[in-house]
Amino acid sequence: MTTASEHSTQVKPVTQHRGRISSPIDIWRRRLLIFIVITYTAVLILAPLVGLISGAFAEGLGGIISAVSDPAVFSAFSLTLYIAFIIIVIHALFGTTLAWVLVRYRFPGRRLLNAFIDLPFAVSPVVVGYMLLLLFGRNGMLAPVLDLFQIKVAFAVPGMILATLFVTLPFMAREVMPVLEAFGIEQEQAAATLGANGWQTFWMVTFPALRWGFIYGVILTFARALGEFGAVLVVGGGIQGRTETATLFIFRALDGRQYVGAYSAALLLGLLSLILVVGTEFLRRREK
C-alpha cells in the first residue's frame, strides 16, 4: 500500500505542524501502524478473553453458577486466598525491608544482589517446586529434621506457601525501590533534627511517601500469588480438598473434561486478579 511510495526519492511536501511532521504518506503510515497494533492486540489478547467468557457461558449463567457453587471450587478458592494473604503479610514486611537495605545502604555485592532479586521472574515455576521437594520431600535434605519434629512441608500448605513466596519475591522490592529512591532523605533528616526517633520518622515521614509503591507492590504480589500454578502443583501435589488451589482445581477440571467448571473457575480467577490490578491502577491515577 503506502510502503511502495516510501522509496521514491522525490521531495515530499513537509509541513511542520505543532512540531510534528505530517505529509499524506505519513498520515497513511500512521493509520497503518495504528491498525496493525490494534489488530495484533485484539487477536492476541482480547480474542482469547472473549473466547473464555463465551466458553464459560456455553450453558448459560445457570451453568456458571452451578459450576462455581461446587464445594471443591469453594475450598480451592479459600485455600488460594489463605495462601495469598500469608504471602502479602510476609512480603510486605520483608520486601520493604529489602528495598530499604538496597536503596539506603552501601555494601559490597549490592549491585549483584539487586540483579539477583529479578531471578524469580526467570526461574521456571516447575523448577521452584522441584527445589523445594529436594529440600523438604520424603528423601529431601531436611527430611530427618522434619521427621524429628513431625512437620510436613512437601505435599502440604507450608511448602506451597514457600513456593509462592519464591515466585512473588521481586514485586514488593521492585515497586518500593524506585519510590524510595525518588523520595530521598532530606525530609527524614529534617524529622530527625526535630527530634523524631527512627520509628517515628519511618511511620510519619517515609511510609506516607511510599504508600502507593507499597500498595501497588502488595496488590501485584497478591494477584501473582492467586495465579501461581506450576510451583504449587509440584510441591503441593494438588490433593483434592487438601492442597488444591484455584489453579489446580482448573487443571483437574480440564483433565476431567468438566469444561464449564474449568472455564467458569478460570473466568472467576482471571476477573479477581484483573479487578485487583486495574482497580489499584485506577486509584493510583486518581490520586495523581
Partner 1 sequence: MTTTTPSLAIKDTPHRAPWGRWGIKSAAFTYLIVLLLIPLSVIFQDGLKDGLVNLWGSISLPIAWAALRLTLWTSALMAVINAVMGTLTAYVLVRYSFPGKSFLNAIVDLPLAIPTLVTGVMLVVLYGPQSIIGGWFKDQLGWQIIFAPPGIILALLFVNFPFVVRAVQPVLESLDRESEEAAATLGAGSARIFWQVTLPALWSSIASGALLSFARAIGEFGAIVIVAGNIPFRSQTAAIYVFGEVESSNRQGASAMSIVMLSLAFVLVLFVDWLRKRGRKERTA
Give the footprint of partner 1 on residues 105-144 (CB under 8 A): 105, 107, 113-135, 141
Here the contacts of 67-74 (C-beta below 8 Å, separation 24 or greater) are 67/258, 67/260, 67/261, 67/264, 67/265, 68/264, 68/265, 68/268, 70/261, 72/240, 72/241, 72/244, 72/249, 73/246, 73/249, 73/261, 73/265
Closer of 57 and 209 to partner 1 (Cβ)? 57
Q: Rank residues 150 and 193 by Cβ distance to partner 1 and give the closer one.
A: 193
Contact call for residue 218 and partner 1 (CB under 8 A): no
CB of 7 to partner 1, least distance (A): 9
Query: Near partner 1 by CB under 8 A, which window of 66-74, 151-159, 175-183, 187-195?
Result: 187-195
Contact call for residue 203 and partner 1 (CB under 8 A): no
Between the alpha carbon of residue 24 and those of residues 4, 29, 32, 35, 265, the distances in Å are 14, 9, 12, 17, 50
For residue 148, the minimal CB distance to partner 1 (Å) is 19
Q: How many CB atoms lie within 10 A of CB 185?
A: 14
Helix, strand, coil % in the chain, rounded to nearest 5? 75, 0, 20
Residue 218 Cβ vs partner 1, minimum distance, rounded to whole Å = 14
Tell me the site size for partner 1, rule CB under 8 A.
95
User: 38 or 239: whose CB is closer to partner 1?
Assistant: 38
Q: Which of residues 44-73 bind partner 1 (CB under 8 A)?
A: 44-49, 51-52, 54-55
